[in-house]
Structure 1
């Protein structure tokens, strides 16, 4: 069972509420998120594009823009090399659009996930040299490509790296020595000495900032300001999409980028993105991080997993809506295939863990027949199920490849760095990583090394439910629910606020949805006020809880039509929502946790 913790941070909530014309409860939620001081509160509640950080605060930004400006003016050929996920594709599109808008001669290349692997490789460098490319610009990769960049320099090319991943390092006599690539310019907020105030941005936001800097340097003419402003508005949408899909925390400027970018997405002038919204039935809907991260993003990612990411980039570059709809339909179909293959992979992984009764703190699962592009998704599902860091490895054409997904208390990249001698290649950050091993014999060595070095304790695995405010259900009226929209968009780093109440009576229940896996209940509070409640979690687990707590007879009566139990009382963590159905709007309590 999870441990519930009520936030106890102090502030003058009444004073904050009065100053910003909000309720004291909302003021308390802001404090729980460490939003303190007038500037931060103002920015959180009313932040706009003007509140984004100055790109020139990022180390290497001015140098990168200077190099690219001179190359554009000299008519040199530039090649943008991205990555095969949503962030890499959006980064590539952002840079290509920006540089071409300034008259630059630019094209793109994206590695094939299986043939090339992640990021720069020698074949991409050699292809660029063969094509007469003068300058390579990386996006969402490059920070770990020391050898490949040396090759590019040897072949006479200029290289600008834009990335957001961790900088590789070596430990020497207790000191961390960072290994920056010897490019002509390196832009990465995580590099040593970078004074950028918020470092948790994705590759597409770094690219967005670079285009902004280029427009400020080259496109400052009064007659062009409207044109460049419109382009930046459009590119903000792609920066927002990538921020959500790369699971960046929705704090600081990320929150502004996502809030403003998603609000503009349905008015996009990009035929490809419009087509993707249409084939998924999202046109004219108010879009949230859920739509970006779980509907739009997976369609884009599916091309890089099962085909080539160049197909997704072609969607965004399509000039004709009819052509774009065809590509978008193909992407959606690919994603449906990916879902089915993922489910099969998850079932195999769970079967292996449970048949062998594996109790490791760090899970390493070898699925040789699994499509290697699905390893990361399956690892994420295993992490969610078991609450442990998880790696899924597959058999590739050249050795073993795999991906890992972590938990908050385990820095995956640093733990892998402690045994880096066993990898042929690896990279990533705290919450996710990719790797290559030389052969099947290395799999067991990898598993053993990670677990021998693992310092995680039982407490680190314990799920903690963070309660914002213990609050009576009666306080959750329509006005309060609408006030909560000030806190949107919700996502990683900015979760929906969570309230808690004891003594909630379960009166009646029914199971709804195609698979009968959603519970809908009528409940009553301590004053016998009635509410509709819904639960989207693990319904089987909830039923087991009710059986154990109240007995099988009473628990079964809950779902019998026309019978009110009133004898089962639970404590629950919840958030209130407005449910619209058949033109009517009603308050709905969404249960998140129970005990």
Structure 2
């Protein structure tokens, strides 16, 4: 895929120079930091040295005192408590955190995850009635509930109280719950607004521990769950999330809970685990149960206290994930073939595909895979409960939710945000929707949307790449939204010692006039560039700086992101 390079503009010179002097880093690093909002000595100290003491007071969150009081009341009255969460990674880690915390000292607690296919997203009527019929007096919902007005009213009628812990944007009306914890509430003065659902749950157990005099150090055992939720839910790794992710990764790498350790062992994750490992290895496996079967299996894995039991449960999760990958690959192949076979579709600005037997649990993944092949707004639809239901994914800076809303006259239901959405319509409306959506997208899509953007932090001369530079880069982790892994470019280079690996990848050294350093590059998926590179043609290269260890010897290596010839 061809990228459009966007090299970040230099930050204001005076602030860069001042920060560079104060923390003793070179202008490239100082410029990167200022561009990321780290523009003072104190901000740099907080950034490079995350501190648990800098976590905000949980009681700053609206309704926190009411939530803690209601849990205390339930415990004193020996009431049954239901922990309710969504079926994705953020939801299942949230449930594992809250249920795991409460069951350490309180026996009358259970958890509930809705069935993706029978109940759908969020609080379900079935879940509320299940709580009432089984004697639960309090539901603590996590990662969902902020718009569940009718379901909370039903719970109130049935004598079941609600504490809602959510991080999604509220509607105009807040549910009539005992407490609604959501930093995005307009009336909430909590200083950090980007917590994951599990992060909001963590603030609740933190507040409960403060109020009841429990040792705050006991909460460290839940940090690995919070880190997994932050990574998998793609929330910004800034502010409080950076502190939680930093200590969560530390826990994950040194003393993870048995369920996460089992997943790591099954996947031979021997090196230090980072955010990327969670996103691409741990997260999809936790997600798989909710996509194909029932997410209860993922929660049971995450709350397992015994490694032998956890390994058994992880094996079951692996089997489900293997099935998920099989569905994903087969449906993606069919979807790409549908585009290839229709010339008129290849010329479209959008992709809308429908097949009645595609698995609902993976169509969002398939939409993303199609964008990797054909970079344009994409909707994949399948049939479920006699309706066409689908997942939408977008391209850089194109609001797919707005485009879908322009077609709302053909839809029965839709929701989402700028880059991802879900929708439902009658099967007989699919053709009309395809036509209208293509018209809307064609009118709105501009050249800037047609190529993926590769944001580059700065241009480097090859002699600037050394261990002193890399060791500071490494301390900028954890990387993710809001703090992406640094990408650099070097211009007018040529290759030496090039070779092809596994018929797909390239390994080579790059040379730049006037520079002594000749870094080794690994270029995954770039085998087609072999002839051009081997001709010694000059080119510009974008890359990440990584450390590679082989046979106990470490060296710096550049991971190629893109190559551009003059």
TM-score (structure 2 length as normaliser)? 0.92
CA distance in 2, matches of 1:402, 1:146: 25
Secondary structure of the residue aligned to 2:254 is coil
Secondary structure of the residue aligned to 1:141 is coil
Note the C-alpha offset of 1:235.
Answer: 1.1
After superposing the two structures, state which structure 1 stretch, 303-312 or 20-29, moved more.
20-29
CA distance in 2, matches of 1:269, 1:247: 21
**Aligned match of 2:546 in 577, 581, 589?**
577
The corresponding residue for 2:558 is: 589
CA distance in 2, matches of 1:461, 1:193: 39
The corresponding residue for 2:422 is: 434
Question: Does the 8 Å contact 1:533/1:591 carry over to 2?
Answer: no
Question: Does the 8 Å contact 1:165/1:428 carry over to 2?
Answer: no
Secondary structure of the residue aligned to 2:128 is helix
Question: Does the 8 Å contact 1:518/1:537 carry over to 2?
Answer: yes
Query: 1:166/1:443 Cα in 2 relative to 1: closer, same or farther (>3 Å)?
Result: farther
Q: Residue 208 in 1 paired to residue 202 in 2?
A: yes
Note the C-alpha offset of 1:385.
Answer: 3.2
Note the C-alpha offset of 1:521.
Answer: 1.1
Residue correspondences, number: 557
The corresponding residue for 1:383 is: 371
Question: Does the 8 Å contact 2:510/2:521 carry over to 1?
Answer: no
CA distance in 1, matches of 2:470, 2:256: 33
After superposing the two structures, state which structure 1 stretch, 299-308 or 316-325, moved more.
316-325
Secondary structure of the residue aligned to 1:531 is coil
CA distance in 2, matches of 1:299, 1:379: 19
Q: Residue 189 in 1 paired to residue 183 in 2?
A: yes
Q: Residue 72 in 1 paired to residue 60 in 2?
A: no
CA distance in 1, matches of 2:371, 2:108: 44
Output aligned runs, 1:134-283, within 5 Å.
Answer: 134-168=137-171, 178-218=172-212, 220=213, 224-225=214-215, 228-230=216-218, 232-268=219-255, 270-282=257-269
Query: 1:528/1:468 Cα in 2 relative to 1: closer, same or farther (>3 Å)?
Result: closer
Q: Residue 3 in 1 paired to residue 8 in 2?
A: no
After superposing the two structures, state which structure 1 stretch, 479-488 or 142-151, moved more.
142-151
The corresponding residue for 1:92 is: 95
Query: 1:142/1:363 Cα in 2 relative to 1: closer, same or farther (>3 Å)?
Result: farther
Secondary structure of the residue aligned to 2:538 is strand
Secondary structure of the residue aligned to 2:357 is coil
CA distance in 2, matches of 1:409, 1:489: 25
Question: Does the 8 Å contact 1:78/1:135 carry over to 2?
Answer: yes
CA distance in 2, matches of 1:419, 1:197: 37
Q: Which runs of 5+ in 2 are unaligned?
A: none
Query: 1:327/1:186 Cα in 2 relative to 1: closer, same or farther (>3 Å)?
Result: same
The corresponding residue for 1:410 is: 398
Question: Does the 8 Å contact 2:396/2:452 carry over to 1?
Answer: no
Secondary structure of the residue aligned to 1:136 is strand
Note the C-alpha offset of 1:326.
Answer: 0.7
CA deviations on 1:111-148 (whole Å, 9 max, x unpaired) are: 11122221221111111111111112211111232222
Note the C-alpha offset of 1:343.
Answer: 1.1
Question: Does the 8 Å contact 1:143/1:180 carry over to 2?
Answer: yes
Query: 1:274/1:590 Cα in 2 relative to 1: closer, same or farther (>3 Å)?
Result: closer
Query: 1:467/1:324 Cα in 2 relative to 1: closer, same or farther (>3 Å)?
Result: closer
The corresponding residue for 1:81 is: 84
Query: 1:69/1:259 Cα in 2 relative to 1: closer, same or farther (>3 Å)?
Result: same
CA deviations on 1:466-512 (whole Å, 9 max, x unpaired) are: 32222101110122112211111222332221222221012342111
CA deviations on 1:305-340 (whole Å, 9 max, x unpaired) are: 122111111112223322211111111122122112
The corresponding residue for 2:272 is: 286
Question: Does the 8 Å contact 1:578/1:585 carry over to 2?
Answer: yes
After superposing the two structures, state which structure 1 stretch, 414-423 or 75-84, moved more.
414-423
TM-score (structure 1 length as normaliser)? 0.87
Note the C-alpha offset of 1:264.
Answer: 1.0
CA distance in 2, matches of 1:423, 1:297: 31
Note the C-alpha offset of 1:400.
Answer: 2.6
CA distance in 2, matches of 1:51, 1:276: 31
The corresponding residue for 1:325 is: 311
Question: Does the 8 Å contact 1:11/1:31 carry over to 2?
Answer: no
CA deviations on 1:252-281 (whole Å, 9 max, x unpaired) are: 222222222111113336222222222222
Note the C-alpha offset of 1:100.
Answer: 2.7
Q: Which runs of 5+ in 1 are unaligned?
A: 169-177, 548-554, 559-564
Task: Supply the RMSD in Å over aligned alpha carbons.
Answer: 2.4
Note the C-alpha offset of 1:206.
Answer: 0.9
Question: Does the 8 Å contact 1:303/1:311 carry over to 2?
Answer: yes
Note the C-alpha offset of 1:589.
Answer: 2.3
Output aligned runs, 1:124-139, within 5 Å.
Answer: 124-139=127-142
Question: Does the 8 Å contact 1:522/1:530 carry over to 2?
Answer: no
Question: Does the 8 Å contact 1:531/1:589 carry over to 2?
Answer: no
Question: Does the 8 Å contact 1:72/1:104 carry over to 2?
Answer: no
CA distance in 2, matches of 1:162, 1:426: 23
CA distance in 2, matches of 1:55, 1:384: 41
Q: Residue 46 in 1 paired to residue 49 in 2?
A: yes
Question: Does the 8 Å contact 1:520/1:532 carry over to 2?
Answer: no
The corresponding residue for 1:175 is: none
Query: 1:415/1:208 Cα in 2 relative to 1: closer, same or farther (>3 Å)?
Result: farther
Query: 1:25/1:450 Cα in 2 relative to 1: closer, same or farther (>3 Å)?
Result: same
